Amino acid sequence: MVRPGGVVADATLGLAGHSSAIARRLGGKGRLICFDRDPQAMALATQRLEQLAAELGSEMPAVELVPKAFSEAASVIAPGSLDGLLADFGVSSLQLDEAHRGFSFRSEGPLDMRMDTRSGETAGQVVNQEDENVLADLIYEFGEERRSRRIARAIVRARPIETTAELARVVSAAAPSMKGDKIHPATRTFQALRIRVNDELGEIRSLLECAPSLLKKGGRLVLISFHSLEDRLVKDAFREGSRNKVYDVLTKKPITATEEEQRRNPRSRSAKLRAAARV
């Protein structure tokens, strides 16, 4: 995917972990285009890439930082110009670990969950204002939670709910862990709210739609998903692309983290990487 002097887009810059590795391989004649709609992540990633530029000197590729959602890639990238396009759909450690961002129930914080904190509705607005049936449907669809009706009913009765910890307690009381559960009982509800607030599946669909037009012949599309809804979209797009002779699918089965990597980074357990080449 990364050849010296090539042009690569990182659709999910985050803290620039992937971009830093890509930059080292591209070299001074390459070009790297980075997207992120999270202003905090963009600021921290910019610092990291500036430090890398100081280290690499003339071997640092040209870097273009785009503070936009990756669904807008087609408005920034010239058609047929990319040697590679990478997207990691997971929530970044920065977002999960910062309590004030409201992504995690493991620490007390406001119900926000917006990746772009400059605009859009918050998770608190969804939780406290949406109709009970709408809440139940989104928890079922985006969280794949079978007890969504019970949870939605409990949320409506407990309103107003102001913090992540409050919501986690309400959900856990309404739908406690069952025998064999390996995740916190609020996990699926939090996932559903995050997907709704950030239109995550719509974003992925937009990227999948425009990706073929952005890649050169032989250009690689590499996508990392973290739950079945994301992976299903990627798998279906690759299957259709293969059938229509748009893609040569390079991963017949998704690549997953090794046991060693999972020990070093527990959040990699659910990651699935799929790759395809533009025909």
Average pLDDT score, the chain:
94
- DSSP H/E element including 10: strand 7-10
- Pick 174 or 180 by higher pLDDT: 174
Report pLDDT digits (tens) over 139-158: 999 999 999 999 999 999 99
Tokens of 72: 């807008």
> In CATH, which of 2.60.40.1840, 1.20.1280.50, 3.40.1410.10, 1.10.150.170 is domain 102-198?
1.10.150.170
In this structure, whether the domain defined by 7-93+201-278 belongs to CATH 1.10.10.10 is answered with no
Exposure on the CB side of residue 247, measured as CA atoms within 13 A = 27
How many helices and strands (H and E) does the chain possess? 11, 7
CATH 1.10.150.170 spans which residues of the chain?
102-198
Dist. CA 155–CA 151, nearest whole Å: 6
pLDDT for the residue 60: 98
- Pick 221 or 181 by higher pLDDT: 221
Residue 116: band (very low, low, confident or very high) from pLDDT cuts 50, 70, 90: very high
Alpha helices in the chain (DSSP H): 17-26, 39-56, 93-97, 123-129, 132-143, 148-158, 164-174, 187-198, 200-214, 228-243, 259-264
Is residue 1 over pLDDT 70? no
Q: What is the arithmetic mean of pLDDT over 201-206?
A: 98
CATH 3.40.50.150 spans which residues of the chain?
7-93+201-278
pLDDT for the residue 102: 78
Where on the phi/psi map is residue 245: left (φ > 0), alpha (ψ -120 to 50), or beta? left
pLDDT for the residue 182: 80
